Structure formats: C-alpha cells, structure tokens
C-alpha cells in the first residue's frame, strides 16, 4: 500500500481543529492512494510521498488563483504538482500542494445541500488526482477524472457528486 507523508497548514480560523483535519486527510488521501495503486496500477516510489494541504480563506486563494492562473477570483481548490506527472507515471518523492478555501467550500456545501465534510472530502480527492496528472480541461479527460473521483468517493461511502451533470470542462 502506498505511503504518504501528509503535511497540513491551517491558515484560517474557521476550519475544524487541526487534529480533525489531520485525521480526515490521512483517511481520505490514504483511500485515494490505495485505489489508484490497486485499481489504476498507479506506481508509487518506495519511500513515502510528501503531499501538503493548505486550509485557507477565500482572500488567500484568490491571490494564488490570480498569480498562477490569471483568474482574479476565489476558487474551491487549487493543486500544484511538485513535478510534472502523467496519469500512470511514477511520481517523485514530493507530490505537491493542495490549497482549499473555506468560505467557497462552505457556500458550495450549502448550495449543493451536502455536509461540509463530504464536500471537503470530494475536493481533497479532486486535488489529489490533479497531483497525478489528471485534468478536466477536455471532455474525455473530465470524464476519466470524474469517474475516478466517483469510484474513490464510493470507497469512502459517499455518493456520486456528478450524478445528473455533464462533465466539467
């Protein structure tokens, strides 16, 4: 089973306790890594892969989004792979960073009528897949990534977040 070295940073007061986030990250990303390894034959290096999660606010993610994606607005999650990886390729010892904005997550949870932890879990899985080179810029890529998200979330006991929607591109 793949080993992960998960580092978290909580940069906004409104997030759950750091211990709770640590537990959730370990569980969610552990299940996601196991799924990728077992079902997608994703290779992992022998040493634990490092991944960092930053739990921040809309203002901070807006700045990051403007700087790195030329989109001057907050978003729910951003991922920054440490090294370019294509799906199925061997990642390096550092996977990269996942940044999640609390206020956007809260708004979306309410709009979708989903518990906060369920939507957070989905965004963690989504961001984690980006670190392995999965994307949703083209329709076929979106279908593949969303199918993986759905199957990983099912392993975590959560329903399909895309049910009844066209793939996001």
pLDDT of residue 142: 84
Mean pLDDT of 18-41: 97
Mean pLDDT of 43-70: 96
CATH of domain 4-155: 3.40.390.30
pLDDT digits (tens, 9 = 90+) for 98-136: 999 999 999 999 999 999 999 999 999 999 999 999 998
List the one residue out of 17, 77, 85 whose CA is nearest residue 49.
85
Domain boundaries, the chain: 4-155
Percent of the chain with pLDDT over 70: 96
pLDDT digits (tens, 9 = 90+) for 63-75: 999 999 999 999 9
List the one residue out of 69, 84, 121 whose CA is nearest residue 100.
121
List the one residue out of 99, 103, 104 whose CA is nearest residue 53.
99
Percent of the chain with pLDDT over 90: 88
Measured between alpha carbons, how far is 169 from 161 in angstroms, rounded to an integer?
15
């Amino acid at each position: 089973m793949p080993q992960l070295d998960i580092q978290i940073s909580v940069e906004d007061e409104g997030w759950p306790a750091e211990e709770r986030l640590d537990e959730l990250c370990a569980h969610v990303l552990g299940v996601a890594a196991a799924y990728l390894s077992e079902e997608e034959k994703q290779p992992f290096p022998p040493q634990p892969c490092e991944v960092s999660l930053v739990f921040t606010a809309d203002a901070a993610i807006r700045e990051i989004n403007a700087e790195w994606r030329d989109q001057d607005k907050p978003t729910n999650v951003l991922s920054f792979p440490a090294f370019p990886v294509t799906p199925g390729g061997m990642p390096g010892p550092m996977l990269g960073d996942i940044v999640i904005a609390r206020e956007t997550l809260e708004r979306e949870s309410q709009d979708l009528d989903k518990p906060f932890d369920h939507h957070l879990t989905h965004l963690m899985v989504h961001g984690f897949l980006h670190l392995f080179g999965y994307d949703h810029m083209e329709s076929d890529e979106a279908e593949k990534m969303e199918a993986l998200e759905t199957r990983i979330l099912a392993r975590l006991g959560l329903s399909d977040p895309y049910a009844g929607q066209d793939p996001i591109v």
